[in-house]
Amino acid sequence: MSTNKGRSGTGFLLKQFIIFYIGFAIIPLMVLLYFYLNFDEIRNCVPVSRSALTIVISLFALGSLVAFFGMRAVLLKIVRLAENMKHSLIGNIDTSLMIELTKGEGEVAELAKSFGQVLKRLENNIQELEETKRTLHGVLTKVARALSSTDDYDSLVKLILETAIDAIGAKNGAVFIFDENGGSLATAPFSSKTFFGEPGADEKFYSAAIPYINWVTRERRAIVLPALGKDRFPTPLVPPILCAPLISRNRVLGALCLSGNKYDRNFEEDEISIVTNLSFQIAISIENACLNKDIERTYFETISALALAVEARDPYSRGHSERVGEYATTIGRALGLTSKGIQTLRDASRLHDIGKIGITDSILIKPAALTNDEREVMKKHPTIGESIVMPLKTFHHLLDPIRHHHEALDGSGYPDGLKGEEIPLLTRIMVVADIFDALTSDRPYRKNLGIQGARSELDKLVGMKRVDSDVVKTLYSLLDEKKLVPENLKEEKAPIEIEVLQQKI
């Protein structure tokens, strides 16, 4: 064990040099000294026998050969190692040579081993750089795809947040978007909060992040809090913490806050740069989304005005959409719908007949039953209405009730002939509200039927399983409790044929 250590130590190459030097210089010097000491001054010669001279020459030659080949072997190893180092710089390393050199002894072997370790570290660094490159490419790809989409803004923000967390190895993160009305940050006036990370940790994260959000909003720059030892912090917001403001057009729109690290290290400079740039892109996305919503809201109001213009063409249907909206939302509240569902009913009711803008007056206000051809033309107004609203991505939730407000539970409706559960509850409510207003309103082909006449006709439709019985029962309860009172009713009239009625509503 001690011999191997001694031979493989830092002095082994020097020992080899001494041995080879003895072969090259000391042995010849000793031979010359031998001749000198045996010099015969009288005869001026060295009396040496042939056999002795042969031995001396042989030793001299052998020593020279050993020294030559030994030095050559050492120098060859050094040259080969240098060549391999040069090739490694251009990515053409000879691994078999490295293995061979490391199996030897002495400084060359130690140098080969050290160089092998350096190469291994370089390879690891290259792999990490490649992985980082792929990660960044994935981040940019996802973000670009997300920023180009406006179909679902909440999903867009969550995708960006998830990508940012994966890119820098964070554990938890959230995007806070401020309320447009402003207010004190201490009261957390956020119009939306999106969290991604440990399950069930969102509310604690939100409350713990307020001080950092206050700071970045006031200072208008990112804050980085490194992890220092085992200090206790309110979970799940634990250092390292990175919080950046979302600024667009010199206005702070919100904040991006990330915390924790899956690899138990602080955030690095390039990661901080990534998040800072990402916060800038999120701010632009928020700004664009707000602009898109404003544009679409303007378009929505414009086509709502067109819907009123359609009603103005027919004096008998004026106010129809408004009344249907009032009936539908009243029924929806009684059935326990959410505020979002109520708003959907209100907006869809305003536009449900917008497709009639494509129907000629000769059909729309005809004071008699429609022919088969005219009936087919009238049936196109739901799909026409859908196509008008289709460009409004923000209002895509209105497309189903607009297209299907003439469907029937038994499949006899149009345009798709949906049956039963295929028709959503919101659409079922609007179907009943639409029919009820048609029954209780004057039309060119008949007078209003009054509440009792309307109930009688609705009972027939329930018996034919065309409308939702629960929705109809809810309507009756509201009528009985005077929570829904149609203002346009006159004296009650005799019932009319169901088929004629459905042609017109």
Question: pLDDT tens for residues 415-441?
Answer: 999 999 999 999 999 999 999 998 888
Q: What is the pLDDT of residue 99?
A: 56
Question: Higher pLDDT residue, 385 or 127?
Answer: 385
Residue span of the structural domain in which 23 resides: 2-121
- For the segment 200-228, the average pLDDT, to the nearest whole number, is 87
In this prediction, residue 490 carries a pLDDT of: 44
168 and 54 in a common domain: no
The span from the CA of 108 to the CA of 402, in Å, is 83
331 plus 438 within the same structural domain: yes
- Asked if 205 and 170 sit in the same domain, the reply is yes
pLDDT in tens, 171-199: 899 888 887 654 334 344 556 788 888 88
**pTM summary value:** 0.50
Residues 487 and 370 in one domain: yes
Lowest mean pLDDT among 162-166, 291-295, 325-329, 480-484: 291-295
pLDDT of 371 higher than 70? yes
Is residue 247 classed as helix, strand or coil in its secondary structure? strand
CATH number of the CATH domain containing 362: 1.10.3210.10
Number of residues that make up the chain:
505
Please check whether residues 277 and 165 belong to one and the same domain: yes
Averaged pLDDT for residues 340-356: 89
Q: How many CB atoms lie within 10 A of CB 399?
A: 17
What is the model's pLDDT at position 366?
A: 78
Q: Is residue 466 scored above 90 in pLDDT?
A: yes
Residue pair 266/226 in contact by the 8 Å Cβ criterion: yes
Q: Indicate whether 218 and 78 sit together in one domain.
A: no
Residue 102 is predicted with a pLDDT of 57
Share of the chain above pLDDT 90, in %: 18
Crossing angle of helices 107-147 and 12-21, in 10° steps, is 140
- Rg of the chain over CA atoms, in angstroms? 45
Q: Phi and psi at residue 252, in whole multiples of 5°?
A: -80, 115
Average model confidence (pLDDT) across the chain: 75
Claim to verify: residue 337 and residue 474 sit in the same structural domain? yes
Tokens 């034919």 -> residue: 464
CATH number at residue 204: 3.30.450.40
pLDDT at 152: 56
The per-residue pLDDT for 182 is 46
My answer on whether 258 and 327 are in the same domain is no
Count of domains forming the chain: 3
Regarding whether 171 and 86 lie in a shared domain, the answer is: no
Identify whether residues 159 and 263 lie together within a single domain.
yes
Written as six digits, the tokens of 55 are: 């031995």
For residue 10, what pLDDT band results from cuts at 50, 70 and 90?
very low
pLDDT at 85: 58
pLDDT, mean of residues 67-87: 66
The pLDDT of residue 370 is 81
* 255 torsion bin: left (phi>0), alpha (psi -120 to 50), beta (else): beta
Asked if residue 253 lies in contact with residue 280, where contact means CB atoms within 8 angstroms, the answer is no
Distance, CA of 157 to CA of 285 (rounded, Å): 9
Rounded to the nearest angstrom, the gap between the alpha carbon of residue 19 and the centroid of all alpha carbons in its chain is 70
Which of 121, 136, 164 delimits the end of a domain?
Answer: 121
Whether residue 236 contacts residue 201, with contact meaning beta carbons closer than 8 Å, is answered with yes
Do 481 and 392 have their domain in common? Answer: yes
User: What whole-number distance in Å separates Cα of residue 173 and Cα of residue 161?
Assistant: 7
pLDDT surpassing 60 at residue 165: yes
User: Could you give the residue ranges of the DSSP H alpha helices within 314-424?
Assistant: 320-334, 339-351, 361-364, 372-378, 381-389, 399-403
Q: At 46, is the pLDDT very low, low, confident or very high (cuts 50, 70, 90)? A: low
Q: What is the pLDDT of residue 140?
A: 59
* Residue 44 pLDDT grade (very low, low, confident, very high; cuts 50, 70, 90): low
